[in-house]
Amino acid sequence: MPNLISKLVKAKTADPKGDSSAKAKIDTAPQLSVEDIWDTLADRDLYRLSIEIDSGLRLSTRLDAVDLGLDPYVVDELAGGYRKAFSDAFTKARNQLSGLQKKFNKKFTIYVKPFRFIDGSIINDAVDFAQQIKLEAASLRQGLVDTYADQLKTFLVELERKLNETIPGQKKQIEQALIHYAQEFPSIDDFSGSLQVIIDGPVQLTSLKNKLKADADLQAELAKKKRLTAKQKQEAQAIQERIRTSQLMLNGIAQAVQQSRVACLDEGWELMADLIDRFGASPDGKLTSKDQSAISSTFSRLELLEKHNPEISQHLIEAKKLHEVMQSNPTPEQAQEAYDKFSEFLAQQSQSASGDGAEKLQKSLRFANDYKEIVAKLEKLIETPDSEALNELEAGNLANIETTLTRRVANLKRLTKKAQESAKYANEQAAAQGGVDPVAGF
């Protein structure tokens, strides 16, 4: 049915608005007023800045039972029928921007709902990165517009193939389905207004102390007067309302800042647990290029966390000391000594720590100790063979650690499967609703 498809593509591209009533969105960067948020610490230079990706249109469409010529019950049994992405290029572009958004969050922000905090020392870099994402979005949009006809044709050709497989010989019904889904396909205007990067900020968290003092001074001046005019009474009420509002904001921000410190420290413990596991997997100090890349990424994140919670500073220093040893071609003994020193330091520092990250670190430390003990026993048995002691070790500690590893891997696979299902559901919901895509924060 190539003639019909060609006519549908020509008709759709000839009218930029197509059959969609959706209007292109303006790619703006709305700014928050200073009154929206307050800085609770006069000696800290914090900013609020976040970015979101608004897809602007649905990602896919679903062929209904009537289009497939099947009984609705059969379609329901087939998990809702056949769903087809409008444009693989659009999906790829959206995922690319979502990846950049996640990179931005990890590189620059500390998240405590509903705020993303950025330290003043890196705010310029953060703003530059956000603007680069906007430029990338503009480039991707233009690419979608330029290849619009090809994307529409690909969609219709694949759809025709699927319909011919499902209802072969039903030419009239297939033609009706193609016309219907050509109308469903987003218009050129939809594509040109899609993938908007919404930048919220940057807003410097102004000193609430100074703001409150200024209002308090005004209030004190009015209080000195024996008699107030109607206008002055109105002004006094407005000042009192501002003071009350400022205090309420202070409470919210103060809690968020405090929570961010706690969250940063706990994330720091979790990253330390990752380092313990990674370094522990290389007892001879031989780090792969993959290890080096992961460690470098971990250090970058720890350096950001350190800006928001100085307690992490010493942990980072000790981690880098171990890394330096591992990079200097150490003997196995030197590598083990440095690793043990780092482990002992973390065990002491995290003794009274609480939280998911601290718990993960403590588990990693216990596992590392058990592993070290078993390795030592096996090495001794290699030098001094003892079948009875080996059998006892295999049936006891070695079996336990193997069981633990097996369970951990199985649990990770289970959780990964659930995460994949959740991500699939979230994507389907976002596709059905359009709008802003939910992206997990760091």
CA distance 364 to 155: 50
pLDDT in the model for residue 36: 37
pLDDT in the model for residue 70: 55
Among 69-83, 302-316, 368-382, 384-398, top mean pLDDT goes to: 302-316
pLDDT in the model for residue 93: 94
Torsion angle of the four alpha carbons 123, 125, 126, 129, in this order, in degrees rounded to the nearest 10: 160
The better pLDDT of the pair 329, 100 is held by 100
The tens digit of pLDDT for each residue in 160-217 reads: 887 787 777 778 878 887 888 888 899 999 999 999 999 988 877 655 566 777 777 8
Residues 248-259 have a mean pLDDT of 68
pLDDT in the model for residue 242: 75
Nearest CA to 360 out of 269, 280, 281, 442 is that of 269
Structure tokens at 425: 């559901």
User: Cα–Cα distances in Å, from 82 out to 77, 151, 167?
Assistant: 11, 19, 13
> CB of 130 within 8 A of CB of 49?
yes
The tens digit of pLDDT for each residue in 285-301 reads: 678 888 889 999 999 99
CA distance 76 to 65: 9
Q: Over 50: is that where the pLDDT of 263 sits?
A: yes
The better pLDDT of the pair 269, 385 is held by 269
Average pLDDT over the chain, rounded to an integer: 77
The better pLDDT of the pair 359, 257 is held by 359
The better pLDDT of the pair 442, 230 is held by 230
Residues 6 or more apart whose CB falls under 8 angstroms from that of 189 comprise 16, 17, 18, 20, 22, 23, 24
Q: DSSP for 240-258, please give it.
A: HHHHHHHHHHHHHHHHHHH
pLDDT in the model for residue 411: 60
pLDDT in the model for residue 28: 29
pLDDT in the model for residue 323: 93
pLDDT in the model for residue 405: 63
pLDDT in the model for residue 250: 62
Phi (first) and psi of residue 165, to 5 degrees = -75, -35
